[in-house]
Amino acid sequence: MEKDKQITILGFLYIARGGLVLIIGLVGFVFLAGIGVFTGDRTAFGILSLIGTLAIIVMGFLAIPSIQAGIGLLIRKEWGRILALAVGFVSLIDFPFGTALGVYTIWLLFDNEAMKCFAATAQEPAVPSQQIQVV
C-alpha cells in the first residue's frame, strides 16, 4: 500500500477515534443525568449532571485534537502531521487501541516517503499567482 493511501486511512482513523470519544462522553452525560432524573432527588440530579458535564468536557479536550489531526492529515498539512505525532505519542498509554494507533502513527509519519507527501503541499502557494489582482 502506498504511503499516500496509508496517510488517508490514518486521517480517517483519527477522526473516527475523536468522534467515538465524543459519543462516549455524550452517552456518559445522558446516563448520569438520567440516573439523577430517575431517582427523583434534585440534589442527586444536580451532582450527577455536574459530573456528566465535567466528563463530556474532558472527553472533548481529548477528542478535538484527534479530529483536528485527522483533518490535517487528510488535507496533507505539515501541522496535521505534527499534531498527529503528538496525539500518537500520547495515545501510546491508551492500551490496546491507542497503543496500536500510536505505533502506526509513529511508524508511518516518520517515514521519508510519507514526509514527502507533506513537503509537496507545503511548497504550494496559498493563492495562485493568476488570481492576485493589483489595484
Give pLDDT, residue 121: 65
Tens of pLDDT, residue by residue over 36-93, are 899 889 999 999 999 999 999 999 999 999 999 999 999 999 999 999 999 999 999 9
Is residue 35 a contact partner of residue 48, using CB atoms and an 8 Å limit? yes
CB atoms within 10 A of CB 4: 13
Tens of pLDDT, residue by residue over 21-43, are 999 999 999 999 999 899 889 99
Q: Cell digits for 95?
A: 492500551
* 32 vs 87: CA distance, rounded Å: 28
Q: Cell digits for 32?
A: 448520569
Distances (CA, A) of 134 to 127, 129, 130, 131: 14, 11, 11, 10
Give pLDDT, residue 118: 87
